[in-house]
Structures are given as structure tokens and as C-alpha cells.
């Protein structure tokens, strides 16, 4: 039985490796576009909008669990049809205006199938980010195949809040004070956003590339 189990697991791993390869290739192509964009802006404006690019692909276990959670067949071949977040790229920028510069540039070179602006319309939790799902053409000898990549584009302060909130969320999910803690995180999200915009306003005063955030034009 142990031998059969080992063979079965080896088959699943091989199947996953073959399945996930084009998603990794799609991520590489998106990263090339982002790095070129960042370099181009650096040359033109003496400012690199992108602080960091992080990427990941879902594990086999994560893919199967998500298919099951959504009521789909749990064979991996169904994942491409039903899941759009198997490949993910997070772009962390310095300023809020940088987020929209990156979004605008990506729209000019990639096909966007879905987008959600959680910066102008934050989630109830206080979460802020700009989400996009783009379809990337991956070229192979047998032809072109298209794969979705989920992008999350946000500032350093937004990413800081999201990372800490995510970590504490699972530690306090069953805590009797969870509701009170959630309200505090909503408040901290707003406070961090205001601080970030104030710092962006200072930068805007020294650099004509960025328009000064509307909230601070009268105060400056």
C-alpha cells in the first residue's frame, strides 16, 4: 500500500508540475513588463514607482481545496477553467498615484478581464489595494495559450496594514473581542492612509510628475 501511495503521489506531483509550468511562464512575462515599466519611469521622471514585485503560484493542495470549496470537481485539469488566481503577482509601490500609473501602463499592454479598485472603495475591513486579472499570451512550439494572472497593486503602507491584519486575523478569529479588534483595524487603515497621503503631498511639492493629493492642496 505504501508503494502504491508513493506512486500515486509521484503521479500527482508530475501532473502538477506540468500544469503549473505555463502559469510560471505567464508570471515571468508580467514581471518583464513591470520591470520595463519601472525602468522607463526611472529614466523619464527620476522616480521608480515600484518598490517590490512579489509573485507566487498556488500549491497543489491549495488548488484542490479551492475547487472543493467552490463545489467544482477536484481534478487539477478543471483548475484552469474555474480558477483565475492560480498565478499571482503583487506590486508594491511608494505612492498611491504610482498605483494608478502602473494600472494605466498595464492596461496599455495586457488584456484586463476584471478589475476592482479597493483604494477608492476600500473593503469594510479597511483593506486597500487595486486588483486586476489579466490574460497573458504564452508562446509555445504548439501555439499560443492564454493564462490568467491576478495582480494586486498597492502602496507600502497598504501592504504593511494588509500583512499585519492578515496575520492577526487568524489569531483572533475566534476571540470574543474580534469585533472590537476589527473596528480598530478599520480605524488604523484610515489613519495609515492619511499619513501616506500627507507624505505623498510632500513628494508632490518637490516633483511635478505627481499631482498633489486633493485632500492636502489647501493645507500645504
**CATH, residue 110:** 3.30.460.10
Residue 170 and residue 118 share a domain: no
Give this prediction's pTM. 0.85
Q: Which residues, 6+ apart, have CB-to-CB distance to 128 below 8 Å?
A: 118, 119, 122, 154, 158, 161, 162, 189, 193
Final residue in a domain of this structure, among 106, 128, 155 = 155
Contact assessment for residue 138 and residue 145, using Cβ atoms and an 8 Å cutoff: yes
Which one of 134, 155, 176 terminates a domain? 155
Looking at residue 175, what is its pLDDT?
58
Contacts 24+ apart (CB under 8 A), 111-118: 111/135, 113/84, 113/148, 114/84
Q: What is the pLDDT of residue 12?
A: 75
Name the active-site residue from 15, 35, 150, 190.
150
Q: Quick one: pLDDT at residue 46?
A: 86
145 is catalytic: no
- The pLDDT value given to residue 218: 46
Residues shown for the chain: 220
pLDDT mean for each 10 residues of the chain (220 residues): 62 87 98 96 91 97 94 92 97 97 95 97 95 96 95 97 82 62 88 94 77 53
The reply to whether 100 and 203 lie within a common domain is no
64 and 74 Cβ atoms separated by less than 8 Å: yes
Which residues, including other chains, have CB under 8 Å from residue 79's CB and lie 6 or more apart?
Answer: 19, 63, 67, 86
Residue matched to cell numbers 478581464: 113
For residue 182, the model assigns a pLDDT of 81
Domain that holds residue 126: 2-155
Does residue 85 sit in the same domain as residue 175? no
Number of domains, the chain: 2
Amino acid at each position: 500500500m505504501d508503494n502504491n501511495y508513493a506512486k500515486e503521489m509521484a503521479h500527482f506531483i508530475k501532473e502538477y508540475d506540468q500544469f503549473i509550468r505555463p502559469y510560471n511562464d505567464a508570471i515571468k512575462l508580467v514581471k518583464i513588463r513591470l520591470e520595463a515599466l519601472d525602468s522607463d519611469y526611472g529614466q523619464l521622471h527620476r522616480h521608480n514607482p515600484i518598490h517590490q514585485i512579489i509573485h507566487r503560484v498556488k500549491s497543489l493542495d491549495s488548488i484542490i481545496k479551492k475547487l472543493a470549496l467552490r463545489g467544482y470537481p477536484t481534478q487539477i485539469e478543471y483548475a484552469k477553467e474555474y480558477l483565475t488566481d492560480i498565478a499571482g503577482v503583487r506590486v508594491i509601490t511608494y505612492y498611491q498615484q504610482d498605483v494608478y500609473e502602473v494600472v494605466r501602463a498595464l492596461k496599455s499592454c495586457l488584456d484586463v478581464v476584471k478589475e476592482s479598485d479597493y483604494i477608492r472603495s476600500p473593503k469594510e475591513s479597511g483593506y486597500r489595494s487595486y486588483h486586476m486579472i489579466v490574460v497573458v499570451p504564452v508562446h509555445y512550439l504548439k501555439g499560443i495559450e492564454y493564462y490568467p494572472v491576478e495582480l494586486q497593486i498597492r502602496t507600502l503602507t497598504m501592504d504593511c496594514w494588509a500583512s499585519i491584519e492578515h496575520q492577526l486575523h487568524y489569531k483572533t478569529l475566534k476571540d470574543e473581542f474580534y469585533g472590537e479588534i476589527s473596528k480598530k483595524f478599520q480605524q488604523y487603515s484610515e489613519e495609515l492612509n492619511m499619513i501616506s497621503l500627507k507624505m505623498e503631498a510632500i513628494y508632490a511639492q518637490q516633483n511635478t510628475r505627481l499631482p498633489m493629493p486633493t485632500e492636502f492642496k489647501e493645507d500645504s
